[in-house]
Amino acid sequence: MTHSLRSRRRFIATLAGGLLLPSLARAADNETAPASEPPAQALTPAEPVDAVAVDFVQRADAIRFPRESFQTEIVVRNYVDGTEGESRTYRVLSRGNANTIVLTLEPATERGQALLMSGRNLWVFMPSVSQPVRLSLAQRLTGQVANGDLARANLAGDYHPVVTGTESLDDQAAVVLDLTAVDRGVTYARVRYWVAERDSRPLKAEFYALSGRLLKTARYEEFREMAGRVRPTRLVMEDALKKGEVSVLTYENMGVRDLPERMFTREYLRRLQQ
């Protein structure tokens, strides 16, 4: 759905409250969710969908990653008080933001490990283990990076968004959105999201646990052209609880690639490891 900036501003200016959602039932923090969980339960909006908010989130999703199948290499560097620690390199193969494979390229000792996401189901494959292990999207992969940060990038599909206002962020007019998880299976219970009003670029995000505790803050930086449009190529994630602990994700390259559906199955990944 397309809206003019004038109509968006008018809509934002007249918002009162926004979308009311039932509270999530889990009392534990999302970041510590166990690998095996009961089936996700959908949360039904109590009021009509905020169409302006959905439009902003969908546009920002399309800027972060292609809507088509794509491949990208991501280097994650972890820092403590400005000192660089371990770094890891991943290859991400994604088909429609619902099916993803994350291959570990570096360090060499972990080469061959793979994450497979199908819908919101996530498994890890390790060369030394015969059967895949079920994981939570919220579990940490490395540093400040959760499994879901690499394996699933569909904020529009995972959250109910509402516009809460506008702010100036880095000298840009930004729409502020509050995103509430559609069910228990997504990476974070809630996200506060800043999107540029002019062009819908993602600028900043705060990620919260089910308890309401702020877990980490992310900033989208260094926009340049990749895979046919201008996208953020650097994501800085800072721990909100342990000051000075930061992970920097650098997208080394990105390209649209035809990825058949048969790749995104446990049987296919088992064959790759043989």
Per-residue confidence band for 169, with pLDDT thresholds at 50, 70 and 90: very high
Q: What is the largest CA-CA distance in the chain?
A: 59
Could you read off the pLDDT of 211-233 as tens digits, one per residue? Answer: 999 999 999 999 999 999 999 99
pLDDT of amino acid 268: 83
Domain assignment present for 157: yes
Q: What is the mean pLDDT of residues 127-134?
A: 86
Domain assignment present for 152: yes
Least confident interval from 85-94, 116-125, 196-205: 116-125
> Do 167 and 195 contact (CB within 8 A), yes or no?
no
Domain assignment present for 147: yes
Could you read off the pLDDT of 23-60 as tens digits, one per residue? Answer: 223 223 333 333 333 333 334 444 567 999 999 999 99
Q: Which two tokens stand for residue 72?
A: 């990208």
Domain assignment present for 37: no
Least confident interval from 6-10, 117-121, 174-178, 183-187: 6-10
Domain assignment present for 225: yes
CA distances 168 to 22, 61, 67, 196, 206, Å, are: 30, 21, 29, 9, 16
pLDDT of amino acid 42: 39
pLDDT of amino acid 272: 66
d(CA 203, CA 221): 7
> Do 8 and 166 contact (CB within 8 A), yes or no?
no
pLDDT at residue 2 is higher than 50: no
Domain assignment present for 136: yes
pLDDT of amino acid 273: 62
d(CA 97, CA 67): 7
Q: What is the CATH number of the domain that holds 213?
A: 2.50.20.10
Q: What is the 3-state secondary structure (H, E, C) of 215-270?
A: EEEEEEEEEEEECCEEEEEEEEEEECCCCCEEEEEEEEEEEECCCCHHHCCHHHHH
Cross-strand partners of 95? 99
Domain span including residue 197: 5-16+27-32+42-273
Q: Which one, of 28, 168, 152, 143, lies nearest residue 78 by Cα?
A: 143
pLDDT at residue 205 is higher than 60: yes
> Do 186 and 159 contact (CB within 8 A), yes or no?
yes
Q: What is the DSSP string of 178-220?
A: EEEESSTTSS-SEEEEEEETTT--EEEEEEE-TTS-EEEEEEE
pLDDT of amino acid 131: 85
Domain assignment present for 21: no
Q: How many domains would you assign to the chain? A: 1
Q: What predicted TM-score, i.e. pTM, was given to this entire model?
A: 0.80
Domain assignment present for 197: yes
| φ and ψ of 261, to 5 deg | -60, -30
Kindly report whether the peptide bond that precedes residue 202 is cis, defined as omega within 30 degrees of 0: no
